[in-house]
Amino acid sequence: MHDKSISTSERLFASECVSAGRRLDGRSLTDPRHVSVTLGPSWGFAEVAFDNTLVIASTSVDATAPSSERPNEGVLTVVADLSPTSSEAAARESLARSGHTPVVTEIRNCIDKFVREARAIDTEALCILAGVKVWAVRVEVDIINDDGNCVDACVMAVMSSLMHARRPDVTVTGKEVRVHSLDEREPVPLPVHHVPLSVSFALFGAGKPYEPDMVVMDPVKKEEIASGGSLSFAFNAQGEVCGVYKAGGLPLQPESFVQCSELGEKRALKLTAILNKALADSSAKHPRASLRPMLVTPEPVAQVRSRHTRKKDEVMSEAAPLSMWNATPIEDTLPPPPSATDRDPVKVHAVEGVDSAIASLLQGRKEVDEIVQVEEHVEMEMEPEREDGPKPTEIIEISDSSSSDDDLESAIISKGKGSGGRR
């Protein structure tokens, strides 16, 4: 990342500070900045600020035709954009030509890896009628001000937005799909599987071979520019690694990698707590109890035996909230759904709308099981000496041939696989 507006002196000073164990803004090397999350007033609007870094995200849901390759899967699209006023580099770039800055490309890659490829949203649960209509979820992220660590802010904004967003309720009756307007039914939350949150580090080489690198958590813009590379981890509330992204040319020492993952896990849990608080606060503004948003439920890894039941309970405890969607009823004549629940629209209560959501959530469980297995496998390899890890019986259940290999490098490789090869 080359930023012309930064002088050599500033760059050297940033590195000098890190070598001296200090930061440009007075923090210690592993201190994060203050994070604030604001949700609402409309569904799916999130504003995430890491001090001066400000990112907004909004989610919109539309019913569209599915792709022919995946007729029973909804679509999740995340669009990231860098406002020309966010930083000097961005302004320059937008004046010079209409291309994208390297920052945006990196952020897009990260969001894709951490949110879409980690299957934060169960796209199969977004199916309305297989082959005919599915939900298309579109998240738009805008970087309003870039003062470093946009990746974390963007991933958090996307996940906050998805957690807060609602889609209109639908009733499938035989050949008919009815999309209920907000007056009719309260909209339902999106099928969020898990909430991966990213924690990024700027890496500064020690200058000597075989010595651990200096890692800086939550870097500001200048530190990002001065650093030799960056490393981002995505962890969910269960402490599972959902993705790793390494950028920059600096060769990373294994010790530093482990150090980052340990710091990252702790940080991700704190971010989850911040997000949960924001979700709870946003619900407090709504007069009705049924408007409470889903919260991220942290759960020890050992207990993740059957995510089906957990997911069901979680969704059951949340009644469908009041609609703010301007959804228009679709009353097209459609072919009968293969797996839709037949119900009489007159007798349906608001709570029953959730049932259909659960029914659709329970579809295509095979893939979910695979995800859980991969994630647990990764977790075990990451921390082979962990005493209070999963029970032995469960290890047998989910481990495969390579789990005996405790070598750190293979752990890194399988982590990459775990995050990227889930589809």
Partner 1 sequence: MPKVENGAAPVGLQFGKEMGTLALPGEEIGKLVDTTPPHGLQSPQDQKRAVVRLGSGVTQRGSSLLSSKAGKVCFDGRRNKTWVENNQKRYVPALEDMVIGVVEERHSEDVRLDINGTDTATLSSLAFEGATKKNRPHLDIGSLIYCRITRASKNMEAEASCIEPGSNKSWVGGEALYGELKGGNVIQVSLGLARSLLVPNGPVLTTLGAKIPFQSAVGVNGRVWIQSSSTEHTVLLSIAIAKADTMPADEWKAFVKKMLEQAT
255 binds partner 1 (CB under 8 A): no
Minimum distance, C-beta of residue 4 to partner 1, in the bound complex (Å): 5
Window of 2-10, 34-42, 203-211, 385-393 that interacts with partner 1 by CB under 8 A: 2-10
Q: What's the closest the beta carbon of residue 53 comes to partner 1, in angstroms? A: 15
- Name the minimum Å distance from CB 101 to partner 1: 16
Q: How far is the CB of 100 from partner 1 (least distance, A)?
A: 21
Phi, psi of 145, deg, nearest 5:
-140, 130
Of the candidate spans 20-28, 53-61, 69-77, 278-286, the one that interacts with partner 1 by CB under 8 A turns out to be 20-28
- Residues 89-148 contacting partner 1, CB under 8 A: 95
Please identify which residue in 1, 10, 352, 413 interacts with partner 1, judged by CB under 8 A. 10
Q: Is 7 in the site for partner 1 (CB under 8 A)?
A: yes
Instruction: Indicate the residue among 123 and 145 with the shorter CB distance to partner 1.
Output: 145
Q: Which is nearer to partner 1, 17 or 368 (CB)?
A: 17
Compare residues 22 and 391 and give the one whose CB is closer to partner 1. 22
- Residues 23-82 binding partner 1 (CB under 8 A) are 23-26
Neighbours of 237 (CB within 10 A): 21
Q: Is 12 in the site for partner 1 (CB under 8 A)?
A: yes
Nearer to partner 1, 7 or 326 (CB): 7
**Residue 52 beta carbon to partner 1: minimum distance, rounded to whole angstroms:** 11
- Binding residue for partner 1 (CB under 8 A) from 1, 22, 62, 146? 22
CB closer to partner 1, 21 vs 41: 21
CA 366, 368, 374, 380 dihedral sign is negative
Choice from 1, 6, 144, 324 touching partner 1 (CB under 8 A): 6
Which range, of 17-25, 150-158, 248-256, 257-265, touches partner 1 by CB under 8 A? 17-25
Query: In this complex, which beta carbon is closest to partner 1, that of residue 10 or of residue 352?
Result: 10
Question: In this complex, which beta carbon is closest to partner 1, that of residue 24 or of residue 162?
Answer: 24
- Residues of this chain that interact with partner 1 (CB under 8 A) are 4-13, 16-17, 20, 22-26, 88, 95
